[in-house]
Homo-oligomer: A and B are copies of this chain.
Amino acid sequence: MEFSSLEPFILKRKALQSTLALWSFDSDTRAPKKAIENSAKIMGVLSEEYFNLINNKEVIELLDQVETTTDVQKALVKEWKTELNMLCKIPKDEYVEYQSYVVMSQRIWNEAKNKNDYEMFKPYLKKIVETQKKFASYRKVGEESLYDILLNDYEEGFNTEILDEFFNKLKEVIVPMIHKIKNSNVKIDTSFDHLSYDIETQKQVNNELAKYIGFDFDCGIISETEHPYTTHFHNKDVRFTNHFYENYLSSALFSTVHEGGHAIYEMGVSDELTLTPLGEGKSMGMHESQSRFYENMIGRSKGLWNNFYPTLQNAFKEQLGNVSVDDFYLGINHSKPSLIRIESDELTYSLHILIRYELEKQMINGTVDYDKLPEMWDNLYEKYLGVKASNLAEGILQDVHWSGGMLGYFPSYALGSAIAAQIFAHYQKTIDIEHLVEQGQFDVIKQQLKNDIHQYGKMYSTNTLLKNMMGEEFNPNYYITYLVDKYSKIYQL
């Protein structure tokens, strides 16, 4: 059977996927407030169409029958089958019941967080974890643990063994380093960051920054939401959102470079793939590597700010007139253990993830006393970061992920940072990336990332991409070296 028989289904699948992304972006950014009830019904119908298409009998037969002659065709069939496998192993009634349970669970989590009431959320968390375990068990084929099955969903080829090694190395190095920083004589002043900054001016500067690092406004737009994120309909329409705080200048700036990194990834997917199931960034970890690469390796570098700081300073003469670029650089790179993951600095970030990883592993693979979870959370924060939550919103109820059934997702955040450091080390050797940043040659950097990673969309796994690029699979040592070097210099350790 000709591969072309599959093509109408491929395009229809993309049409539904992009349509769902459009409805949700529209709903998040500008739909009127009373629209949601009717619009949710519409989105429900379209989601069902999407799932029916993945699961379509004719498609399933075609997937086994079509001749695949190119790499793209082979990868495409594999991708579809993977998604099919995730869906069709779960009995439909269980799946549907779970979908509505998740909606409820997220609502309850939100209420519990506001009311500082863990008891309220506890039964939901327990049921979500149990259901995820059950669903994973339907897909179990070999000796892998249930948590490994979930980890693999978000990052193909990664499992507890690799992550244990990764996180152990991290904590061995980072935890003592945090103590040294605490006792360092270097004290960094970040007060400039919390002066009053006009929001309209912030928007203009952030647009310039996005353009400067390579976000193409002919292929994307920037909008606003409570929490920044990136979405895409295809490679010529990629959108990210930001959130502007009057008294927190760096928040929007680093959302711009972070989400900008995600967006540049999606814009770099090849035209051949963009309207297919392979037409987007590979995995959570790989995506996060691109956003962290732009946010941290480039976005917090001296090179970038030597060039861009005058623009920022000029927009905010009153607030930044007396802050030198060196002081600004130190300000955006200071490190201090804190309680909230999404506000944490580059050095301590992965310890927040480590804590969630340790808890998830116990919830899925072991037995956990749900009554003790809040305490376990607090103890781990005390142990690794030396800080203690004063309420549950800073503690066990901090993140939305578990209430939405996203177990196995957190590690990809830390993996992303580590992959970013590995790519950066490679580019230091091969293209003298620091020099390119100093010269403002972001087009060259973007083109290199496109050649090495972006163009391939979902065709290759993270390890294959890294191997093809630098002859080496994932290796966390680059990340550790990067962090130690950077923070030793900043804090003169």
Q: Which residues of A contact B (CB under 8 A)?
A: 11-12, 14-15, 18-19, 22-23, 26, 30-35, 37-39, 41-42, 45-46, 49, 216-221, 233-237, 274-275
A217 CB, nearest partner CB in chain B, Å: 6
Cα A274 to Cα B31 with chains together (Å): 17
CB pair B42–A233 under 8 Å, yes or no, is yes
**Total identical chains:** 2
Contact A236 B38 (CB under 8 A): yes
Closest B residue to A234 using CB positions: B38
16 contacts between A and B (CB under 8 A): A11-B41, A18-B42, A22-B22, A26-B26, A30-B221, A32-B237, A34-B219, A34-B236, A35-B219, A35-B236, A35-B237, A39-B233, A39-B234, A39-B236, A41-B275, A42-B275
Q: How far is the CB of A194 from chain B (nearest CB, A)?
A: 29
- Cβ-defined contact, B274 with A32, below 8 A: no
- Name A31's contact: one of B15, B32, B39, B237 (CB within 8 Å): B237
Q: Are A19 and B46 in contact (CB under 8 A)?
A: yes
Cβ-closest 10 pairs across A and B: A35-B237, A15-B45, A38-B234, A15-B42, A34-B236, A34-B218, A35-B236, A34-B219, A33-B218, A32-B219
Do residues B14 and A237 form an inter-chain contact, with CB atoms below 8 A? no
Closest B-chain residue to A46, C-beta based? B15
Q: Which of B15, B35, B37, B45 contacts A233 (CB 8 A)?
A: B35
**Complex-state Cα separation, A428 to B211, whole angstroms:** 58
C-alpha gap A170/B126 in the complex (Å): 75
Q: Which residues of the other chain, B, contact A219 by a CB distance below 8 angstroms? A: 32, 34-35
A46 surroundings in chain B (CB, below 8 A) = 15, 19
Which residues of B are found within 8 Å of A32, using beta-carbon distances?
216-221, 236-237
Within 8 Å CB of A39, what residues of B? 233-234, 236-237
Nearest-CB distance from A154 to chain B (Å)?
Answer: 27
- Chain B residues in 8 Å Cβ range of A45: 11-12, 15
Interchain CA distance A22-B33 in the complex, whole Å = 16
Question: Closest CB of chain B to A3's CB: distance in Å?
Answer: 18
Which residues from chain B contact A31 at a C-beta distance below 8 Å? Answer: 221, 237
Which B residues lie within 8 Å of A236 (CB)? 32, 34-35, 37-39
Q: Which residues of B contact A41 (CB under 8 A)?
A: 11, 15, 275
Q: Which B residues touch A275, using CB under 8 A? A: 38, 41-42
Taking the nearest CB of chain B, how far is it from the CB of A276, in angstroms?
Answer: 12
